[in-house]
Amino acid sequence: MRIKVEACGKKEFALKLRIPGWANGATVRLNDQPELAGAEAGGPGYAEIRRAWQPDDFVDVDMPMAARLMEANPLVEEDLNQVAIQRGPVVYCLESPDLPPGVKISDVRIPADINLLARFDQRLLGGVVVLDGKVLARAGKDWNGKLYREVPPESFKSVAIKFIPYSVWQNRGPSEMSVWLPRD
């Protein structure tokens, strides 16, 4: 993001920039200088630049948006041993239309070392950033009306899928969706 000063007085003033907690490794540059001159910490999550500004001064703020696996506090029992995916401030989900035929959401496991690639998909709702990656999927087992059964040996295969922002699910017809998925 770039903030440009177009007009200002001669008096010194502070520009305070909110750096969100998800922006690990954020950098702030003033007028293309490698390090931010005159910046002082303005409290948790803020960068402050106090100076006498000039027209055409500019500040660049770079906030990395790497996809990250997030876990819940262990006291949240429903999410124990599960992860959610977050990129910047956006939480992603897995929706059934994005799975290969025969694979259900309940069959998917997220590898701890999953490599997620952000990609702009213009065909999805006019344009959305999706995350492509490979997950582990087990062969779906038919329960044949049973309520309980002995745990069968499991074999997992690697399948390519995409995650979509949670905010845009249920826009492609009836589907299943999950934010929290078991971690391998």
Q: Write down which residue in 27, 46, 62 finishes a domain.
A: 62
Do 46 and 75 lie in one domain? The reply is no
Structure tokens at 67: 């996809």
Please compute the mean of the pLDDT values over residues 112-136 and round it to a whole number.
Answer: 95
The per-residue DSSP string of the chain comes to -EEE-----SS-EEEEEE--TT-TT-EEEETT-SS-TTEEE-STTEEEEEE---TT-EEEEE----EEEE---TT-GGGTTEEEEEETTEEEEEEGGGSPTT--GGGEEB-TT---EEEEETTSTT-EEEEEEEEEEEPP---TT-S--PPPP--EEEEEEEEEEGGG-S-SSS--EES-EEB-
Please give the backbone phi and psi of residue 2, each rounded to the nearest 5 degrees, phi first.
-125, 135
Do 17 and 73 lie in one domain? The reply is no
Do 148 and 87 lie in one domain? The reply is yes
Q: Write down which residue in 25, 44, 62 finishes a domain.
A: 62
The boundaries of the domain holding residue 138 are 67-182
The answer to whether 171 and 125 are in contact (CB under 8 A) is yes
Lowest mean pLDDT among 21-35, 61-75, 105-119, 157-171: 21-35
Do 104 and 154 lie in one domain? The reply is yes
d(CA 2, CA 30): 10
Do 49 and 77 lie in one domain? The reply is no
Do 86 and 174 lie in one domain? The reply is yes
What is the model's pLDDT at position 39? Answer: 52
How many domains does the chain divide into?
Answer: 2
Number of CB atoms found within 10 A of residue 15's CB: 18
The pLDDT tens digits for 137-148 are 987 667 788 899
Q: Write down which residue in 21, 43, 62 finishes a domain.
A: 62
Please give the backbone phi and psi of residue 35, each rounded to the nearest 5 degrees, phi first.
-125, 150
Q: How large a percentage of the chain has pLDDT more than 70? A: 93
Do 75 and 36 lie in one domain? The reply is no
Do 11 and 93 lie in one domain? The reply is no
d(CA 10, CA 51): 10
Do 54 and 135 lie in one domain? The reply is no
Do 74 and 158 lie in one domain? The reply is yes
Dihedral, 86, 87, 93, 97 alpha carbons, nearest 10: -160
What is the model's pLDDT at position 70? Answer: 96
Please compute the mean of the pLDDT values over residues 154-178 and round it to a whole number.
Answer: 93
**Model pTM?**
0.82
The pLDDT tens digits for 37-87 are 445 545 458 888 899 999 999 999 888 899 999 999 999 999 999 999 999
